[in-house]
Amino acid sequence: MCGIVGAVRESDTSGFLLEGLRRLEYRGYDSAGVVVINQSGRLERARTVGKVKELERALTQTPLAGTTGLAHTRWATHGGVSETNAHPHICNGTLALVCNGIVENHEALRHSQQEAGLAFTSQTDTEVVVHQVYLHLQNGLDLADAVRATMDELAGSFALAVVHAGEPGRLVAARQGPPLLLGRAEKESFVASDINALLPATRRYQVLENGDVADIRGASCAIKDSGGSPVERVIHTSTQSGAGAELGEHRHFMQKEIHEQPRAVSDTLEDRLLGDRVLEDAFGSEAGRIFDATRQVLIIACGTSYHAGLVARHWLEYVGVPCEVEVASEYRYRRHAAREGTLVVTISQSGETADTLAALEEAKRQGVVGALVVCNVAESSLVRESDLVFMTHCGPEVGVASTKTFVSAMTGLLLLALVLSRRHGFDSGFEAHVVHQIRTLPGALEAALAMEDAIAEMAQVFSDKEHALFLGRGAHFPIAMEGALKLKEISYIHAEAYPAGELKHGPLALVDEKMPVVAVAPNDLLIEKLKSNLEEVRARRGRLYLFADPASGLESREDVTVLHVAPVDSAIAPIIYTVPLQLLSYHVALIKGTDVDKPRNLAKSVTVE
Ligand code: M6R
């Protein structure tokens, strides 16, 4: 999943392209590159390994200038992280191309292109695309027709943009899978993987559909659909804030975003509650009709968002709504038995996760009563593809490790469970009780954040560990999974989560005095069961680190460190117990000195499968 930005401008475009890359860096930061057509009608390119700031440094030393250009930030799929594998790729010194996605038949194409005498300079799948366009140009096709012919020969999922040195002022873009937007201004045109990259130049944009090829010449843009017929795509006006997120007094975005959680949740709740009821309209104007027809819920998501779904399953099934939760990358390729009355719910911070989008498409193909998305980005693909939308109002989340959007998505899913509970015989007293607890969330989150100093001290123990186990039971098992994911993601410590009752079925063999075992222990119906599981760990000389309710009876002793979490109702406990685990992973990463906001090998938004 890479980020593409391109422009045909009246004046120099290199500043716009660089700013676009900064805004798209969440899609990948293995390497970055830019190409422009200079005043003499030649391609000038710069590429660097690492983050966009490396490219910025290179361009300060050797600036590029031109009114037409392309840029790219890469998350490596085919071919290692190197300057030669960085985009833009160039063929014959005249044709430059950037691509986001995967070309599945690249090996066969590479073979036939080599036979045709073309030389390769990279190991990427993308280089075959620029060569293929070039071959079609050689055969007399016009640039846009050459791109169309190439698209028809490619298997896979990709979005691309191409410029030719002989045609300054022209850019051709195409989409077959990952999103690609056209930015429209009075005298100029732009292309980008998302709206953020366009905002410094324009708010007006069109969304290319699958199979579209857009032929941009200055301010004019002709789009042809997959059948080659001219089409008009709606011009939207973005209402998204153009400002990038600021770090303020914090050391990292992750830390800032953890501390923003009380505000993110209270903003997410604003106008969603009336007295002691949840407003059904919070999910969209069609919510009543779709929820009336809902017999079960199918939740689809990836990573942290998947964990939010697993927590939601407990809430939904508690109120009598059958619920399945699926990892999107598995669901999309599995055969399913369709179930009548299914509401499909996707959860996604970005709204652009390729697997989740594809899984939603598959669920719709099976037949659903409606599609609801819980999302943090209003102008995103999943929002466009859904009938109902619950927006989390977190503001931009910059840290690759999701924090505030996880907590806010869970809050939205708890509201969903309440709205559906009305249709399953739960009375208004039940809803009123839970709504009352939900209103305490911002304060309870503040109280959990106040544990930071004690957690920072606890983190010392973890910094030289290679492994850790995380335990939880019931709705807190997904919280343990999330804690383990956070630790893996930003401190590169191998961490596994288990339902505490499952330890004795195998994982207990891993436990010895070197294995730290973290557990979340709210004072719920399973607390005594959990305590027995913790004793099993102690009996094997395991070292316990517990986040526990004071009423649990769990106290620190020689082999057990307990940090008490202020008491909370079990309805909201999973949301609150998330915070200490986020802080633990953050402080371990601080001690280890890893790149907290941009951990190695990852990207904020995963737009390839
Ligand atoms: O944007 P999404 O919520 O769809 O992203 C899904 C996952 O890629 C994401 O949650 C990932 O697991 C996070 N980096 C975890 O912190």
Q: What secondary structure does DSSP assign to 493-519, as a single string?
A: -EEEEEEGGGGGGTGGGG-STT-EEEE
The chain-wide mean pLDDT, for the chain, equals: 95
Task: Please say if 221 is a catalytic residue.
Answer: no
Amino acid at 166: G
Residue 457 belongs to domain spanning:
449-597
Pair 581, 482 in one domain? yes
pLDDT at residue 25, as a whole number: 87
Tell me which residue has its CA closest to atom 4 in ligand 1. Answer: 348
Residue that wins the pLDDT comparison between 247 and 109 = 109
Q: State pLDDT tens for residues 211-262.
A: 999 999 999 999 999 999 999 999 999 987 766 667 788 999 999 999 999 9
Pair 406, 468 in one domain? no
Q: Cα(69) to centroid of ligand 1, in Å?
A: 31
The answer to the question of residue 91 being in a domain is: yes
Give the domain-ending residue among 237, 255, 279: 237
Q: Cα(293) to centroid of ligand 1, in Å?
A: 30
For residue 555, the domain's CATH number is: 3.40.50.10490
What percentage of the chain reaches a pLDDT higher than 90?
88
Is pLDDT of 364 > 80?
Answer: yes
Task: Give counts: helices (H), strands (E), the chain.
Answer: 20, 27
Reference 540, options 507, 518, 499, 493; nearest CA is: 507
- Do 50 and 31 contact (CB within 8 A), yes or no? yes
pLDDT band at 564 (very low <50, low <70, confident <90, very high): very high
- Length of the chain counted residue by residue: 609
Q: Which helix (H) or strand (E) holds 103?
A: strand 95-103
Phi (first) and psi of residue 9, to 5 degrees: -120, 175
Q: Which atom of ligand 1 is nearest to the CA of 350?
A: 1
Pair 324, 428 in one domain? yes
For residue 149, the domain's CATH number is: 3.60.20.10
Pair 191, 278 in one domain? no
Tell me which residue has its CA closest to atom 9 in ligand 1. Answer: 303
Q: State pLDDT tens for residues 483-493.
A: 999 999 999 99
pLDDT at residue 242, as a whole number: 67
The answer to the question of residue 605 being in a domain is: no
Q: Cα(304) to centroid of ligand 1, in Å?
A: 5
CA distances (Å), 326 to each of 172, 346, 432, 486, 606, in order? 38, 10, 30, 20, 17
Count of the separate structural domains present in the chain: 3
Q: Please tell me which residue in 51, 224, 404, 604 is annotated as part of the active site.
A: 604
Q: State pLDDT tens for residues 263-300.
A: 999 999 998 999 999 999 999 999 999 999 999 999 99
pTM > 0.75: yes or no: yes
Is pLDDT of 331 > 90?
Answer: yes
Cβ < 6 A, ligand 1 pocket: 302-305, 348-350, 353, 356, 400-402, 485, 489, 605-606
Residue written as token pair 């001290």:
457
Pair 433, 454 in one domain? no
Amino acid at 220: S
Instruction: Look at 240-254, 391-405, 569-583 and tell me which has the smallest mean pLDDT.
Output: 240-254
Q: Cα(161) to centroid of ligand 1, in Å?
A: 27
Q: State pLDDT tens for residues 515-530.
A: 999 999 999 999 999 9
Q: Cα(254) to centroid of ligand 1, in Å?
A: 14
The residue to mutate among 1, 394, 402, 410, having the most atoms of ligand 1 within 8 angstroms of its beta carbon, is 402
The residue to mutate among 257, 307, 349, having the most atoms of ligand 1 within 8 angstroms of its beta carbon, is 349
Task: Please say if 604 is a catalytic residue.
Answer: yes
